[in-house]
């Protein structure tokens, strides 16, 4: 049992104001081992995640902005809660129960991460802040029927909870009043060497228990195939250094994604309890990040659209390869791909996704 000296704490404070003067609060969760997570109400965003390296030095390991204006004025999905549907829906349309729904399109012809005003661009309500053996904050959002073209009124909560062992658990829950599709995840972009480090994530090593992935077309929409990774630069089953593949122009899939921007099929599939989806390690700092999830897929994105024009934390210019997102979720374009695990949510059958970021160090 945790003692008061080892219990995690939650502290609420202001983080800035929107242009209309609305105050946006942040909640910082901290444990006795030097791990802390700051969550801001705008976008239900993981704004900061700090942990110690093998030498005991604390650094922030997620890319982002130091102030609210960065998230509002130059949105780039850093650490946000994405929804209603994470990833891409082809043409911004899908059919459900004989009806065709047209979504807002913000990725050329596709709808990406919920559309032009997804959950990442909305102010969530902070409904609970708790300290204890596991410090937590719960945020809530109501998405009305027709929001961004999606059917059904959706009531959503996201709970971040940090324990004293360095595990940050994120629970996504949603309920609807009519059939709809839902796919929620967190879009943190990591650099375990500390955001803005000189070498980025090219020297990081990634392992995933995924023997197949879903190739994409030129629109970055899955073709429907579940292709074996064996013998390709997509084989992370035994661990692979990110640099060993991220710029391999001989692979047409790397060319299409401008690097890794692909969904991996986790061998265990959809599960009731979280299972390991990916393990990222940095041999320089010794930091290790494990991603656990109940969902069947893990999107790997190596910051391919970061081109050095965006200024992030501490004045750092972010470039391709400066961070990596590991996003557990349903497969991209699932509403248009009947062979993929369903993203349908019905009244009386709520949606739930639990994911965990576990931070440790290796000697």
Convert the pLDDT of each residue in 254-269 to its tens digit: 999 999 999 999 999 9
Residue 79 forms part of a structural domain = yes
Answer whether 324's CB lies under 8 Å from 201's CB: yes
Share of the chain above pLDDT 70, in %: 98
Strand (E) or helix (H) holding 200: none
Give the DSSP letter of residue 66. S
Domains of the chain: total: 1
200 vs 59: CA distance, rounded Å: 14
264 vs 233: CA distance, rounded Å: 13
Residue 3 forms part of a structural domain = no
Residue 110 forms part of a structural domain = yes
Answer whether 150's CB lies under 8 Å from 101's CB: yes
Strand (E) or helix (H) holding 137: strand 134-143
Kindly name the residue from 187, 204, 262, 353 that is annotated as catalytic. Answer: 187
Which CATH number do you get for residue 235? 2.70.98.10
Contacts of 181 (CB under 8 A, 6+ apart): 84, 85, 94, 96, 150, 334, 335, 343, 344, 345
* In the predicted structure, residue 5 carries a pLDDT above the cut 70: no
How far CA 169 is from CA of 61, 184, 239, in Å, comes to 16, 14, 24
Q: What are 270-327's pLDDT values in tens digits?
A: 999 999 999 999 999 999 999 999 999 999 999 999 999 999 999 999 999 999 999 9
pTM: 0.97
> Which residues share a beta bridge with 119?
none
Residue 3 is predicted with a pLDDT of 46
* Mean pLDDT value of segment 149-159: 98
Six token digits for residue 131 = 């300290």
Per-residue pLDDT band for 6 (boundaries 50, 70, 90) equals low
302 vs 319: CA distance, rounded Å: 10
Give the domain extent around 206: 9-361
270 vs 208: CA distance, rounded Å: 15
Strand (E) or helix (H) holding 142: strand 134-143
Residue 256 forms part of a structural domain = yes
* In the predicted structure, residue 36 carries a pLDDT above the cut 70: yes
**Would you call 187 a catalytic residue per the annotation?**
yes
Residue 256 is predicted with a pLDDT of 96
Closest C-alpha to 43, from 29, 58, 64, 59: 64
Kindly name the residue from 195, 290, 295, 327 that is annotated as catalytic. Answer: 327
* pLDDT mean across residues, the chain: 96
Residues in the chain: 363
* In the predicted structure, residue 4 carries a pLDDT above the cut 90: no
Q: What are 213-248's pLDDT values in tens digits?
A: 999 999 999 999 999 999 999 999 999 999 999 999
Per-residue pLDDT band for 2 (boundaries 50, 70, 90) equals very low
291 vs 274: CA distance, rounded Å: 9
Per-residue pLDDT band for 1 (boundaries 50, 70, 90) equals very low
Residue 1 forms part of a structural domain = no
Per-residue pLDDT band for 363 (boundaries 50, 70, 90) equals confident
* In the predicted structure, residue 162 carries a pLDDT above the cut 80: yes
């Amino acid at each position: 049992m945790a003692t008061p000296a080892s219990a995690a704490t939650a502290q609420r404070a202001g983080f800035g104001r929107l242009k209309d003067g609305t105050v946006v609060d942040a909640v910082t969760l901290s444990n006795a081992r030097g791990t802390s997570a700051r969550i801001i109400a705008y976008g239900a965003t993981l704004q900061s995640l700090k942990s110690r390296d093998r030498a005991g030095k604390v650094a922030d390991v997620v890319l982002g902005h130091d102030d609210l204006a960065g998230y509002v004025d130059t949105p780039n999905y850093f650490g946000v809660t994405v929804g209603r549907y994470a990833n891409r829906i082809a043409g911004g349309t899908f059919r459900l129960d004989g009806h065709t729904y047209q979504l807002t399109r913000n990725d050329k012809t596709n709808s990406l991460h919920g559309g032009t005003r997804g959950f990442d661009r909305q102010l969530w309500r902070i409904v609970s802040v708790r300290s204890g053996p596991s410090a937590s904050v719960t945020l809530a959002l109501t998405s009305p029927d027709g929001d961004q073209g999606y059917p059904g009124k959706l009531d959503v909560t996201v709970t971040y909870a940090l324990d004293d062992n360095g595990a940050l658990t994120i629970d996504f829950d949603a309920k609807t009043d009519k059939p709809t599709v839902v796919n929620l995840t967190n879009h943190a972009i990591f650099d375990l060497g500390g955001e803005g480090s000189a070498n980025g994530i090219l020297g990081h090593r990634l392992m995933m228990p995924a023997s197949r992935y879903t190739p994409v077309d030129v629109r970055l929409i899955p073709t429907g195939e579940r292709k074996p990774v064996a013998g390709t630069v997509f084989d992370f089953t035994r661990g692979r250094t990110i640099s060993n593949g991220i710029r391999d122009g001989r692979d047409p899939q790397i060319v299409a994604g401008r690097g890794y921007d692909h969904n991996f099929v986790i061998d265990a599939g959809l599960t009731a309890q979280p299972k390991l989806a990916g393990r990222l390690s940095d041999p320089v700092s010794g930091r290790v990040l494990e991603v656990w999830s109940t969902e069947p897929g893990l999107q790997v994105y190596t910051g391919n659209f970061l081109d050095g024009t965006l200024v992030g934390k501490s004045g750092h210019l972010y470039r391709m390869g400066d961070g990596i997102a590991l996003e557990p979720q349903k497969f991209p374009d699932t509403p248009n791909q009947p062979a993929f695990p369903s993203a349908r949510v019905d009244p009386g059958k709520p949606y739930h996704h639990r994911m965990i970021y576990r931070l440790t160090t290796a000697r």
